[in-house]
A and B are shown apart, each in its own frame.
Chain A
Amino acid sequence: MSTLDADLLHAHAQGDAASLVTLYQQAAAQANDTEAVAFYLTHAHVFAMEINHPDRDALRARLIEMGREAPLGPPRPPLR
């Protein structure tokens, strides 16, 4: 098992979303095919959204550019 794999498993076990954002971006950087890159960036984006990570918007933009994600819809007003 690579160090990156071990670190990812550890971060998952700890529920450490900030580390997951970083580690999945590292995994994407090391991947050598588009499918794998999109897969890892998707995970980085999900955890970035969950914790409002500074990389969130950039990750979404990159996935949109790759044809893998859609822009956000408009805000929803409260149902009163």
Chain B
Amino acid sequence: MQDHPTDLSAVRQPIAKANGLPNAHYIDPATFAEERDAVLFDNWAGLAVAADVPEVGDAVPLTFLGMPLFIVRDREDNVRVFQNTCRHRGMILIEEPRRIEGAIRCPYHSWCYSTDGRLVSTPHVGGPGQNTHEGIDRALLGLIEIRSHIWMDVIYINVSGTALPFEEVHADLLARWAEFDKPLHHGGSESSFTLDVACNWKLAVENYCESYHLPWVHPGLNSYSRLEDHYHIEAPLKYSGQGTLVYRQLKDEAGTTFPDFADLSDKWDTAAEYITVYPNVLLGVHRDHAYSIILVPQSTEQTLEHVNIYYASSETDEDLRVRNAVQWKEVFTEDVFVVEGMQRGRHAPIFDGGRFSPAMDGPTHMFHDWVAAQLERARAAPRAAE
């Protein structure tokens, strides 16, 4: 039996005294549901990438934490997120990825919606051949849109609608990486892959945030990237991650590299940074490419990791892109046994959430602390039904 709600007091201690989140946050469905609302719905969670809908009219259905959604690129070239549910009888509107030529027609009674969500037709709603009725106000019956924001090509959604604007929440991070705020060119099909891992989504964040594990889990990196070449990135209650001072560009046999992003400062000649945009988006930036990993929880103990890699130009060498994608997939796959191992470890009933290295685990503790803060905020809020 899990304690619910959980005791978060130890998590919020300074790192030298803190414990990690209790086991229930990894194995208990009730706590998973609490985090769904307080951590993922109340904040800006990553859902997908804009590159999933590259052309006007492209629509892709998705399920996010049980919610049927679809993303669409509307006629004005805006990427938007809607509930995939007809306002009439709740029918699913879009079953599979497709190009919408005109309106979205519900397959049940043919209510039609424009790609900006307007209800544009309600055939026979007032009787045969009568398509209006005073009881059906189309202005109030458009598709339910989910608040969204796009940054680094990631589509972030705030399901509750209560978060501060994305630019405010992440102002520091946007400033930190302002040099990368320029067009990103998706590397194509070979630069997109998904890992299905048997762990709670947070374990992928925790592992990503710290460099402590690199020499043990990624010994291949050790040949040029030693532990002491890494630094912590710590913005309390905002974001965290790690950076390296010795990034080396991938080269082909002729010594060709990917083109750099324009106008980068000298720091980025050899630096690269890896940051978690709380709650569930892992980003990496380098002088010549960037990537995102969107963690989509499937259940308490199962997560999909959607990886997409981007370049500074649409004209990059395909073979080199493939090599880069293979290289990153190897690195990310090396982490799977760790996150799945920690997941199994969380079933040890006397485990206390674990301790942190005060010197090496700061970015990871920072994530635990942020999750705990979200839960405390939600627990303190008055409930509408009470």
Contact = CB atoms under 8 A, between A and B. Distances in A.
Tell whether A and B belong to one assembly: yes
Contacts of B90: none
Interface in B178-210: none
Contacts of B283: none
B102 A63 contact: no
A64 B300 CA distance: 52
A50 B138 contact: no
Interface of B: 74, 76, 78-80, 101-103, 105, 110, 112, 114, 116-118, 120-121, 123-124, 128-132, 138-139, 142, 145-149, 165-166
Nearest to B120: A72
Interface of A: 34-39, 41-43, 45-46, 48-53, 56, 63, 68-70, 72-73, 75-80
17 contacts: A38-B130, A46-B121, A49-B121, A50-B105, A51-B101, A52-B101, A52-B102, A69-B131, A70-B131, A70-B132, A75-B118, A76-B118, A77-B116, A78-B78, A78-B145, A80-B149, A80-B165
A50 B106 CA distance: 10
B128 A68 contact: no
Contacts, number: 88
A45 B130 contact: no
B129 A39 contact: yes
Nearest to B102: A52
Contacts of B165: 80
Contacts of A43: 123
| A-B interface, 3 closest residue pairs, ranked by CB to CB distance from nearest | A38-B129, A52-B102, A39-B129
Contacts of A70: 131-132, 138
Nearest to A43: B123
Nearest to A75: B116
Given A45-B121, A50-B112, A73-B138, A68 B131 contact: yes
B164 to A, nearest CB: 12
Q: Determine chain B's interface SS by DSSP, over half rule.
A: loop
Contact of B129 (A42, A48, A53, A72): A42
Nearest to B111: A46
Given A68-B132, A75-B116, 8 more contacts: A42-B131, A46-B105, A46-B112, A46-B121, A76-B116, A77-B116, A78-B74, A78-B148
A79 B130 contact: no
A70 B126 CA distance: 12
A73 B118 contact: yes
B117 A35 contact: no
A35 B148 CA distance: 43
A79 B117 CA distance: 11
A36 B124 CA distance: 12
B77 to A, nearest CB: 10
Interface centre among B101, B117, B129 (most CB of A within 10 A): B129
A38 B124 CA distance: 10
A52 B138 CA distance: 20
Contacts of A45: 121, 123
Contacts of A35: 128-129
Nearest to A42: B123
Contacts of B117: 76
Interface centre among B124, B130, B165 (most CB of A within 10 A): B130
Given A38-B130, A68-B130, A68-B132, A73 B103 contact: no
Contacts of A42: 123-124, 129, 131
B306 to A, nearest CB: 22
Contacts of B147: 79-80
Contacts of B102: 48-53, 56
B130 A75 contact: no
